[in-house]
Copies of this chain bind each other. A is one copy, B any other.
Amino acid sequence: MQRNTSQRKLVLDALASLEGEHPGAERVYERVHADHPTVSKATVYRILKDEAASGRVLGVDLPRDIGRFDSRTDGHYHIRCRICGKVADIERGCCGTDGLFVNNSGYEIEDVMIAFSGVCAECAAAERGRTGA
Contact = CB atoms under 8 A, between A and B. Distances in A.
A45 interface: no
Please give the count of copies of this chain that the complex contains: 2
A113 B59 CA distance: 11
Interface residues of A, number: 43
23 contacts: A61-B61, A61-B113, A63-B117, A65-B66, A77-B114, A78-B115, A79-B115, A80-B115, A81-B120, A81-B123, A83-B120, A83-B123, A84-B123, A88-B120, A100-B114, A106-B120, A106-B121, A107-B116, A110-B118, A110-B119, A112-B114, A113-B114, A113-B117
A59 B101 CA distance: 24
Contacts of A86: 120, 122
Given A59-B64, A63-B61, A84-B122, A109 B116 contact: yes
A98 interface: no
A119 B90 CA distance: 13
Interface of A: 59, 61-66, 77-84, 86, 88, 90, 100-101, 103, 105-124, 126-127
